[in-house]
Every structure is written in C-alpha cells, then in structure tokens.
Amino acid sequence: MEIILKQDVARLGGKDDIVTVKDGYARNFLIPQGIAILATESAKKVLAENQRQRAHKEAKLKEEASQVAAKLADLKVTIGAKTSSTGKIFGSVNNIQIAEALKAQGFDIERKQITIKEDSIKGIGSHTAKIKLHREVVVDFSFEVISE
C-alpha cells in the first residue's frame, strides 16, 4: 500500500515521502495514529503543490539569509568585558553577549544561532564564531573582546 508520511518515521522515511508499506501496518498503525495518509491521486497532487510552494518560500528565505551573511562578513563588533591587570577576563564571553552586540548593530540574531569555535573566551583579543542563518547559510563572524 502506498502512503504519504506526515512526519519523519525512523527506518521508513521523512516527512512528505511516498513509501510502500504492508497493508496492515498502514491501516492499523500509521493512518489511525495520524502519521500517514493514503496516497491517492488527489493526495499526490496536493503534495506536489505544497512542495512547490515550500520550495519557493525556502528559496526566498535562503536569499535573505545570504544577504545578511554578506553584511555580517564585513561587520566589526567589539565586546567590552571586565578584566584583570593581566588581561584575563572575569568570567567569559558567551553567545548571549555576542547576540546583544549584534542587536545593537541592528541585526536580529538569536543566541542559539551563534556557535563559538573555542570552548570559552577568557582573554581579550580577536575571536571568531559561526552564525547559522539558514540550514545552508553559515557565516564565520569575527569579533574583538576589549577591556572595559
């Protein structure tokens, strides 16, 4: 029996995949649980239309993310931190502080999108982080930590 999956199923397929399974598995488990629907001709047409619209929206989001990535690559951000006389930071600089510095520059980036390459930043100087703007758009972002 051919079915269309509504969500990812381990060892079977991903969302919106058309798969063939045994009749009892589809009738007794997948369809009653709301995990799948029967793959009729009309359901296949609706799926094709939804995938086409989703691809268009995805391309638009990717283009916007690429534009933001180009702006972020040229941006220089400085983050102030309290330091000792030897230049060691009290505490560390994390992705929350980087997100706040970017928000001050006019970029609305969540802290979850920022990954610092080092374990923790405990010294002043220039550092880099990765910002994931889209599934396929990741930009390396450099920033400088200075003493307040």
- Strand (E) or helix (H) holding 70: helix 41-74
What token pair was written down for 104? 């001050």
What confidence score (pLDDT) does residue 41 get? 96
What confidence score (pLDDT) does residue 40 get? 95
What confidence score (pLDDT) does residue 46 get? 95
What confidence score (pLDDT) does residue 90 get? 86
What confidence score (pLDDT) does residue 21 get? 96
Label residue 3 by pLDDT band (50, 70, 90).
very high
Which tens digit of pLDDT belongs to each residue from 21-70?
999 999 999 999 999 999 999 999 999 999 999 999 999 999 999 998 99
What confidence score (pLDDT) does residue 17 get? 92
What confidence score (pLDDT) does residue 27 get? 96
Which tens digit of pLDDT belongs to each residue from 71-114?
888 888 888 888 888 878 888 888 899 999 999 988 889 989 89
Distance between CA atoms of 59 and 53, rounded to whole angstroms? 10
Please name each of the domains of the chain with its CATH number. Answer: 2-62 (3.40.5.10), 65-147 (3.10.430.100)
Distance between CA atoms of 77 and 102, rounded to whole angstroms? 7
Residue appearing with tokens 């397929």: 13
What confidence score (pLDDT) does residue 135 get? 81
